[in-house]
Amino acid sequence: MDVSVIVAVFNTPSQYLWDSVKSVLKDQDYVKELVVIDDWSSNGDTIEALRKISRLDKTIVKKNAFGKGLALARNFGVSISSGKYVCFLDSDDILTESSIEIRRNKMIDLSVSWLGGDFLLCDEKLISKSDEGFFSSKKENITPLKGIDDAPCFLNIPSPSYEFFMRYTPLMNSITSIFNRIEYIESGGFEKKLRLQQDLNFHLRYSLDHEFVFIPDIVARVRRHGNNSTTSNLKTLLWRYRALNMLKTHIEDEKHRVLLYTKKQDTFFQILRTLKYTKARGATKEILQFVKDGNNDFYRKPTSC
**Average pLDDT of the residues of the chain:** 82
- Write down the pLDDT at residue 299: 40
Alpha carbon of residue 248 to chain centroid: 20
Please tell me the pTM assigned to this model. 0.84
- Write down the pLDDT at residue 287: 60
Query: 39 with 8: CB under 8 angstroms?
Result: yes
Instruction: Judge whether residue 177 has pLDDT over 80.
Output: yes
Which of the listed ranges 4-13, 213-222, 261-270 does the model predict with the highest average pLDDT? 4-13
- Write down the pLDDT at residue 143: 45
- Write down the pLDDT at residue 290: 60
Mean pLDDT of 17-30: 93
> Amino acid letter at 286?
E
Mean pLDDT of 8-13: 96
Instruction: Judge whether residue 22 has pLDDT over 80.
Output: yes
- Write down the pLDDT at residue 141: 47
The one-character DSSP state at 179 is: E
Mean pLDDT of 30-38: 96
> Amino acid letter at 212?
F
H/E stretch holding 220: strand 212-223
| Nearest partner of 295 among 256, 267, 257, judged by Cα | 267
Instruction: Judge whether residue 302 has pLDDT over 50.
Output: no
H/E stretch holding 75: helix 70-79
What lies within 8 Å, CB to CB, of 88 at 6+ separation is: 5, 6, 7, 8, 74, 174, 175, 177
Please state, as a whole number, how many other Cβ atoms lie within 10 Å of the Cβ of residue 42. 8
Mean pLDDT of 123-135: 78
Which range has the worst mean pLDDT, 35-44, 85-94, 286-295?
A: 286-295
Mean pLDDT of 223-245: 76
Helix (H, G, I), strand (E, B) or coil at 95: strand
Which range has the worst mean pLDDT, 16-20, 66-70, 166-170, 180-184?
A: 166-170
- Write down the pLDDT at residue 12: 95
- Write down the pLDDT at residue 150: 39
What lies within 8 Å, CB to CB, of 202 at 6+ separation is: 174, 187, 189, 190, 191
- Write down the pLDDT at residue 147: 36
